Amino acid sequence: MGCNPDYTRGIGWQVNRQRSEQVSERNYWQRMRRNRMSRRALLRASGRAGVGAAGLALVGCGDDDDGQQSAAQVAAQQQQQQDAMQQQAQQQQQQQAMQQQDQQQSADQAAQQADQQEQQAVADADDQQQQAAAVPESGIPSYGGTMRRASTIETHDYWDPHRGVFGPTQFMHSMLYNNLIRWKNKEKAEMEADISALPEIPDPTTYVFNINPRAAWHDAYPTEGGRNITAEDIVVNVDRNTAGVDSTGAEDGSFLGLSSWRKIATADAVDEHTLRTTSDGIDSTYLSATFLRPFGWMAAPEGIREWGTESDVWRDDPTTLRVAGSGPFIAESYEPTEVFVAGRNPNYWKDDAWGQQLPYVDRMEYYNLFDETAIETAVRSKELDGAWLNISRVESLLNDFPQMQRNTVGGGFTIMIRTNYNPDWPGEDGEGNPWLDRRVAAAFHLATDRYLMIDTVYLGSAKPSVLEEIPWFSTFWSPSQEEMTEIPGFRADHDKDLQEANELMDASGFRDTGRSIYLFAPDVWETRYPGIVETAKNMYESGLGVGIEISVDPYTILLQRLVDGTSTGQIPCWTNPPSDLDPTSYWLNGRVPGGSANFYNYENPRVTAIAEEMKITLDLEDKGVLAREMVELQLGIHPDYGWESLSPGLGVMNPVSNEASWPWYHVIPDGYQFAHQGHKIVEELWLDTAHEDYPA
């Protein structure tokens, strides 16, 4: 099947090498299932169990008599016994009812007492937390100031909180919306409350969420007055995401999370503040694929109706600001080529550890800047509070301004390449889809010089990643960096990869046709890294000996062509961070036929079987074994499938991202995560406006 004969299943990396990581990455859904049953629920369950035991105790026993009796005596005695049994049964039923009533009253009293104790314990814990909360070295956060950062806000897809895909859109949404629950630290698989407390899970398929009674929508159109959020509001969001239709009721492919949301079998508002949802079976990805997904925002039904149900303006007009949120900031303006501005939500319903209302910052300004020289200049002049820049620029800033802070994190935006396995797409030249011959797709993969890209784009401050869904820092799921150097396409000896690539091209006969390979490059990629398109063109032309035609267009063009199934190949460039370090949901959505993100018409029976099995596998070690076989399949090194199972979306690298910021800029530690969890940055970000370096 074209598989490298030296690379067979099990070589290089096995599950036992990851024992140490498994301790810290234990299966969080199992922990949650064990720990989230409340004392109230346990007491009520035990009360009902007591009633059941009392009922069983009422089952009587017969009394044998060995004496001989006449038929009449027997009949009379039987009648007496029946009368006595009926009377006893009536008495027993009365006793049982009284016992049930007494036990239910006891259970309710115990539950009420437990509720009171819980509430008091929570209040006491809050008081103790506020009194004993560790004061950071920088001091207790203070209010005021305007945060100013650079972002590619022009690269924005939808103001629709359920259709969004792009990273800059997520950053802006994170200021304006909340999730039902959210990641506290995605890398550690730690969740926390947001609109709701973490769910109670009374059985493997039921999740009960208690809405924060303080949670409220913005006091802004279309929710003037800022009414409280209800469980029914959440049901409206779930219904929209599981329907995936436009205002006419027609299926809409731009709901890319559709497959994930359809894991929710039912969603019901038990009362104003209680939501009960169920899954359609045991599902290890249920929470991470739905309410915890990057665009799992909850929007006010008033906005959903006006902009997403009665019309499609949320989809069709991405430049006009339309928000129906509850987040720490309220949108004020959006000029795509200039700046996005949001002001502090004065009625935000969250407090910090010291009892102070969040957020701290008065105003957020994100400037549309691409060029690193311009961004560095703005940081130097204190027009920006800080910026993520290449390592040489960060070191230059720190050298010139020793008081500046440096932060380093694994960059979540994987650099990847794409192909397209749609048999109905005739190719860009109308001569047929070249990627249907997996030898051409494999040659393209092998000709991608990962180490050249690392040096060219990130000046060496990056590491190879095998797949877009498994960045290098996802150590449990990824082969190690050392093992990667032996995998075709990632070998340290790139000449060996090129030799194999050319053998595949010869075998395919593609070069004999005289056709070119057509690839896509996003315009912001070339703007950020001038000359990168030409570098990629030369890399593939010299490596494969074929003509390369590269179109440079906005990311929105790529997104539409992906949805339409007409995307060309793609040179190495950004994609979004994985929504979860566990790749199960990604594979279910993007590698299983019918998945809402399977843009490439990918299909492989073993891949489908593994993805479905991972969905119901709760043990992390067992899941890891399945994932390792999946990675072999996706990389084309599986002994049974070879290149035929090659992924249409292969990894190139993820950066080691470096930030330089001024000393007045303070972000909590959990704010620096691989996926740049925006809400953790903006909600608790604060600026020391009294700092001597703070610009007047």
What is the per-residue pLDDT across 217-257, written as a single tens digit (0 to 9) for each?
999 999 999 999 999 999 999 999 999 999 999 999 899 88
Q: What percent of the chain has pLDDT over 70?
A: 79
Residue with tokens 């993007």: 590
Query: pLDDT value at position 409?
Result: 86
Give the residue-averaged pLDDT of 433-450: 98
Measured CA distances, 688 to 617, 663, 693 (Å): 47, 8, 9
What is the per-residue pLDDT across 263-292, written as a single tens digit (0 to 9) for each?
999 999 999 999 999 999 999 999 999 999
What's the pLDDT band for 570 if we cut at 50, 70, 90? very high
What's the pLDDT band for 75 if we cut at 50, 70, 90? very low
What is the per-residue pLDDT across 24-55, written as a single tens digit (0 to 9) for each?
333 333 333 333 333 333 223 222 222 222 22
Confidence check: pLDDT of 67 > 50:
no
Residue 199, C-beta contacts closer than 8 angstroms, at least 6 positions apart:
32, 36, 181, 207, 208, 209, 287
Name the residue among 178, 153, 173 with its Cα closest to residue 163: 173
CB of 686 closer than 8 Å to CB of 423: no
What's the pLDDT band for 138 if we cut at 50, 70, 90? low
Name the residue among 527, 537, 601 with its Cα closest to residue 572: 537
Phi, psi of 226, deg, nearest 5: 65, 60
Structural domain boundaries in the chain: 146-370+663-687, 414-655
Give the residue-averaged pLDDT of 167-193: 89
Query: pLDDT value at position 18?
Result: 36
In CATH, the architecture of 414-655 is: Roll (3.10)
Measured CA distances, 180 to 88, 280, 354, 579 (Å): 54, 20, 24, 16
Assign 492 to helix, strand or coil.
Answer: coil
Give the residue-averaged pLDDT of 565-588: 91
Query: pLDDT value at position 134?
Result: 61
- What's the rounded Cα separation, in Å, for the pair 514 and 266? 55
Query: pLDDT value at position 674?
Result: 64
What is the per-residue pLDDT across 319-374, written as a single tens digit (0 to 9) for each?
999 999 999 999 999 999 999 999 999 999 999 989 999 999 999 999 999 899 99
Give the residue-averaged pLDDT of 564-593: 91
Mean pLDDT computed over every residue of the chain: 83
- What's the rounded Cα separation, in Å, for the pair 408 and 389? 11
Confidence check: pLDDT of 512 > 90:
yes
CATH of domain 146-370+663-687: 3.40.190.10
- What's the rounded Cα separation, in Å, for the pair 204 and 206? 6
- What's the rounded Cα separation, in Å, for the pair 250 and 245? 5
Give the residue-averaged pLDDT of 421-435: 97
What is the per-residue pLDDT across 49-59, written as a single tens digit (0 to 9) for each?
222 222 222 22
What's the pLDDT band for 451 if we cut at 50, 70, 90? very high
Query: pLDDT value at position 559?
Result: 86
Query: pLDDT value at position 678?
Result: 61
Q: Which two tokens stand for residue 290?
A: 């739905």
Interhelix angle 438-447/532-544, rounded to 10 degrees, is 120
Confidence check: pLDDT of 498 > 90:
yes
Number of residues in the chain: 696
